[in-house]
Amino acid sequence: MLPEDFYTRKHVVQIAKDLLGKVLVTDFEEGRTSGIIVETEAYAGVGDKASHAYGGRRTTRTETMYSRGGVAYVYLCYGIHHLFNVVTNVQDIPHAILVRAIEPLEGIDIMLARRNKEKLTPQLTAGPGAMSQALGISTGHTGLALNTHIFIEDRGIKVRKTDIVSGTRVGVAYALEDAYLPYRFWIKGNPYVSRGKGL
């Protein structure tokens, strides 16, 4: 399991890259489900127009982002989808990383049941809403420390620097010039990446 000081570092963009190849695990009543993180996006706090915490905004929803690194920030998008983020940096610095896609490892039958699907295809976990549903993550888990039912492990999977690709974040056109920041990272060629399919 990743130590707390993995999350409390100051450079959210670096942590977003470091998360690629790590294994996101959930362990709820139905059993253990997990997958390799293949796509992330960094949201760099009060100065980032794409972030919910831009300008120091604090609401019921965003309050969790101000926690110290190493807890989950889960919020509802479009009233339907539960999006899972990893909070980073120290208390009161609202950095977070959206985990957009995983490559399924364990508990694939459980994930298929949660998604109401029969066959394993990239659609099972490619995309932040789909991934959270497969892992059983919901807004009720926001604020939970990543050391109990939801956690991230380093299983020694090596991702070469040359296999990490960056691009603009998805769905943040409203962020004006910040929409062009290369804060989205994914593993080149991995079929479980939500868009671009590993270009």
Instruction: Please report, as ranges, the residues that interact with DNA according to CB under 7 A.
Output: 41, 43, 50-53, 57, 59-62, 65, 73, 76-81, 83, 85, 96, 98, 115, 123, 127-131, 169-175, 194
* Secondary structure (3-state) at 5: helix
Which residues make Cβ contacts (< 8 Å) with residue 134, sequence separation at least 6?
33, 35, 104, 111, 114, 115, 124, 125
Least separation in angstroms between residue 165's CB and DNA is: 17
Q: Which pair of structure tokens corresponds to residue 90? A: 């120290």
Q: Report the Cα 182 to chain-centroid distance in Å.
A: 16
Q: Kindly tell me which of 3 and 121 has the beta carbon lying closer to DNA.
A: 121
* Calpha distance 185→167 (Å, rounded): 7
Least separation in angstroms between residue 59's CB and DNA is: 3
Q: Kindly tell me which of 41 and 103 has the beta carbon lying closer to DNA.
A: 41
Least separation in angstroms between residue 29's CB and DNA is: 22
Q: Kindly tell me which of 10 and 57 has the beta carbon lying closer to DNA.
A: 57
- Is beta strand 31-44 parallel, antiparallel or unpaired with respect to 81-88? unpaired
Q: Kindly tell me which of 33 and 155 has the beta carbon lying closer to DNA.
A: 33
Least separation in angstroms between residue 149's CB and DNA is: 20
Least separation in angstroms between residue 64's CB and DNA is: 10
Long-range CB contacts (within 8 A, 24+) of 113-122: 113/30, 114/30, 122/191, 122/192
Q: Kindly tell me which of 171 and 189 has the beta carbon lying closer to DNA.
A: 171
Q: Give the chain's largest Cα–Cα span.
A: 44
